[in-house]
Amino acid sequence: MSRKFYVTTPIYYVNAPPHMGTAYTTILADTLARTKRMLGYDALLVTGSDEHSQGIADKAAAEGLHPEEFCRRFIPQFHDAWKLLNIGPYKFCRTSSPEHKAVVQPFFQKIFDKGDIYKAEYSGWYHTTDNKFVDEADLPEKPEEHPNLKFLTEDAYWFKLSAYQDKLMAWHEAHPEAIVPGFRRNEMLQRIREGLRDLCISRSSTSWGIPLPWDTDHVFYVWVDALLSYLTGSEGGYWPCDLHIMAKDIPWFHTVIWPSLLMSAEVELPKQVLVHGYWNFAGSKMSKSKGNVFHPQDAVALVGADAVRYFLLREAPLGQDGNFTVKGLSERYNYDLANDFGNLLHRALTMAGRFVNGEVAEFQPGGAHQELENLRAEVAAQVVPQLEKLEFREGLENIWRLVSALNRFIDDTKPWEQAKNSPENLPALFSVLFRSIRTLLLLLSPIMPAACDRYWTQLGLEGKASEQPFSALEQPFPTEARLQKPEIVFQKLDLKNLEEEFIVKKETLTGEKVERTEEANPVATAIKTVATAAKAVAKAVTEPKPESDGMIEYDDFAKVRLLTVKVVKAEAVEGSDKLIRLTVDDGKRQDRTIVSGIRKHFTPEHMEGRTICIVDNLKPRKIFGIVSEGMILAAGEGDVLRLITPEGELAPGVRLG
């Protein structure tokens, strides 16, 4: 019998279509579920709709609809979005469903019978969009003028949350892994130490909700009702939940209220809660109420579902905020997927078809290319645990070590020359190459399932990459497989004509006509900005430049941003006798990469721990397959080279000049 694994997203509000923030949470959960299945688990992903809010009741009333009918209009948009992003399989729980009601009522009846619920009047401000009562300390100066705040006075039932403070603290201290990342755990523990107040769990001023079984004049408060959807979805023996995934605005409900309710009902607690950051767009958090959202269908129309999944998982460190830009998405797509990865597969398949008739010989350990095989095995051994721990960014960086190495391998071994001079070497060369490419597809399939399945077919392999177990990583490339002609999976974007390309792709995706007008919305503006910039670059390259005396204006110099950084790690770049790869702390990031040709003058050991100066705002470029994000400052003459360093010790991130 297979092991079970249970992961959830929050139960999303259904007052608007999903945006990239909700998509990110769901992609995290789906990628983990896919990873667990490849490790042999019976993985269940539960998501759903949170429907019993006052805001939904108000909007439905304004349209003359019953709230359930209002919600029903939005549900297909979530299913369509998840299908578009290759999410699945998943279970979708609606809090308005009879199945959910059948879980909620007996659960709270048990707590009521235990004496942990009492009746008392409630007076306070209720936020109809956030669906929560607002503490006095968090109220605006004139709450009565706020469009989403209502002052309520009503009879209500209360849960004795304060009675569980000590027990809850003891449980968290005994389970330090229960909230990740660690700084989110510290935030929650501090709030618990400040003292817990009893929790209002019912409403009597509305009928939209699940009635209390012992007093049907009351319905359950939306948040306590929604939390129990995780129990509703766990049917089939999946409880306790292995992981709840959510954004940083709701861990209080999941790490304080939820476990306290479960303790009272004597139900086993979830094992872990992951709290991630927000995705910003146009300079601020994506918000349906603000209107600054980027919808999944727009991103998929631009670059496809697999590239959207790749971008979101590669771009932001887990737990931190991410910045979603059309420019960043387009460049990641072009540089990482179309150039590095897609071109690697296309070159390898084309040359193998031409030079070895599309056949892959049996791999022989200890041969001339054992170093590449060692790297393949090392990356595979490191990446699988990284994916399982949701270290997707780190895992993808590790995978790209192998992608870069394979591109260098082709450049260094020059199969086209060996085909003329030493064709007997080609079977071993392509054997080790395609053994590594097959490994790439297996490691990437939880993140980019559709693309990896397409490439899997081009490799002539049976089944789908996304349906293979990770144990297949050590299986040999089947010699009976016949490589197919390459087909482009990641077609490079033409940034200069991005507006038109986006419109054509969206029309193809949705089957609907897109108006070619200057719409004042964030998506259209962002795409136009990227296209305009690309055209300007192309024009600057092709136009003749006027003669110059070499002098620059002060304003030109002011554009150069010089910064102190501390070298965290230094390592020689494999295959180069000049380059060192520096990982530096710039005061904001501790994983910034700079590649510099200083190896003849400084060893990696000499560089580690030093504070140096760099050009901070130099446009990133690839050096030997590695994206370099800056330039170090140095001066020298002849064989002498000196680093430009600050006098005295300065912290990373200090601006010079």
Q: How many CA atoms lie within 13 A of 457 on its CB side?
A: 9
Q: Is residue 514 predicted with pLDDT exceeding 70?
A: no
Asked whether residue 485 is assigned to any structural domain, the reply reads no
Average confidence (pLDDT) over 156-161: 96
> Of 250, 282, 297, which closes a domain?
297
Confidence of residue 518 (pLDDT cuts 50, 70, 90): very low
Please tell me whether residues 146 and 287 are part of one structural domain. Answer: yes
* Per-residue pLDDT band at 502 (split at 50, 70, 90): confident
Do 161 and 229 lie in a common domain?
yes
What's the whole-number average pLDDT of the chain? Answer: 89
- Does 312 map to a domain? no
Q: Is the confidence at residue 642, as pLDDT, over 90?
A: no
pLDDT at position 539 over 60: no
526 pLDDT more than 70: no
Does 572 score more than 60 pLDDT?
yes
Same domain, 123 and 270: yes
342 and 244 within one domain: no
CB 485 within 8 A of CB 273: no
**Together in a domain, 538 and 563:** no
Summarize pLDDT for 10-62 with one digit per residue, the tens. Answer: 999 988 888 888 999 999 999 999 999 999 999 999 999 999 988 888 889 99
The answer to whether residue 137 is domain-embedded is yes
Give yes or no: residues 452 and 337 share one domain.
Answer: yes
289 and 388 together in one domain: no
pLDDT digits (tens, 9 = 90+) for 232-269: 999 999 999 999 999 999 999 999 999 999 999 999 99
The three-state secondary structure class of 550 is: coil
Q: Is 624 helix (H, G, I), strand (E, B) or coil?
A: coil
Q: Are residues 40 and 133 in the same domain?
A: yes
> How far is residue 429's CA from residue 443's CA, in Å, rounded to a whole number?
22
**225, 79: one domain:** yes
Name the DSSP letter for residue 139.
-
> Which domain-ending residue is among 421, 442, 474?
474
Contact criterion met (CB below 8 Å) for 592 and 565: yes
Whether 423 maps to a domain, the answer reads yes
Give the range among 89-98, 576-585, 644-653 with minimum mean pLDDT: 644-653
Please give the Cα distance from 548 to 435 (Å, whole number): 54
**What CATH number does the domain containing 226 carry?**
3.40.50.620
Does a structural domain hold residue 223? Answer: yes
Q: pLDDT tens across 435-489, in order? A: 999 999 999 999 999 999 999 999 999 999 999 999 999 999 999 999 999 999 9
Beta carbons of 436 and 374 less than 8 angstroms apart: no
Half-sphere exposure (CA, 13 Å, Cβ side) for 396?
Answer: 24
Start-to-end Cα distance in the chain: 66
Q: Which residues form the domain of 527?
A: 495-542
Euclidean distance between CA atoms 507 and 417, whole angstroms:
45
250 and 351 share one domain: no
How sure is the predictor about 538, in pLDDT bands with cuts at 50, 70 and 90?
low
268 half-sphere exposure, CB direction, 13 A CA radius = 10
What does the angle CA 520 – CA 521 – CA 526 come to, to the nearest 5 degrees?
A: 105
Amino acid code (one letter) for 345:
L
Separation in Å, CA 547 to CA 34, 458, 537: 59, 52, 19
C-beta separation of 532 from 499 below 8 A: no
Cα(315)–Cα(309) distance, integer angstroms: 10
In tens, the pLDDT along 269-294 reads 999 999 999 988 755 666 655 556 67
What would the two tokens of residue 84 be?
Answer: 């578009």
**Do 426 and 355 share a structural domain?**
yes
Write the pLDDT tens digit of every residue in 171-220. 999 999 999 999 999 999 999 999 999 999 998 888 999 999 999 999 99
Residue 24, in any domain of the structure: yes
Percent over 90 (pLDDT), the chain: 61
* Over residues 112-123, mean pLDDT: 93
Q: Say if 548 falls within a structural domain.
A: no
**Residue 596 is part of a domain; what is its CATH number?**
2.40.50.140
pLDDT of residue 582: 93
Mean pLDDT, residues 397-420 taken together: 95
Amino acid code (one letter) for 308: V
Q: Lowest-confidence range among 379-388, 505-514, 630-639? A: 505-514
CA distance 264 to 330: 50
Q: Does residue 549 form part of some domain?
A: no
Helix ranges (H only) for 370-391 are 370-388
Residues 87, 215: contact at Cβ < 8 Å? Answer: no
> Which helix (H) or strand (E) covers residue 581, if one does?
strand 580-585
Domain boundary among 254, 277, 297: 297
Please say if the pLDDT value at position 544 is more than 60.
no
CATH number where 467 lies: 1.10.730.10
The DSSP bridge partners found for residue 457 are none
How sure is the predictor about 541, in pLDDT bands with cuts at 50, 70 and 90? very low
* Residue 587 pLDDT level (bands cut at 50, 70, 90): confident
Phi/psi for 75 (5° steps) reads -55, -45
Same domain, 625 and 510: no
Report percent pLDDT > 70 for the chain: 89
How many angstroms separate the CA atoms of 178 and 296, rounded? 31
Average pLDDT of the residues in 332-361: 96
The per-residue pLDDT for 122 is: 79
How many domains, in total, are found in the chain? 4
pLDDT at 599: 87
Which of residues 499 and 537 earns the better pLDDT score?
499
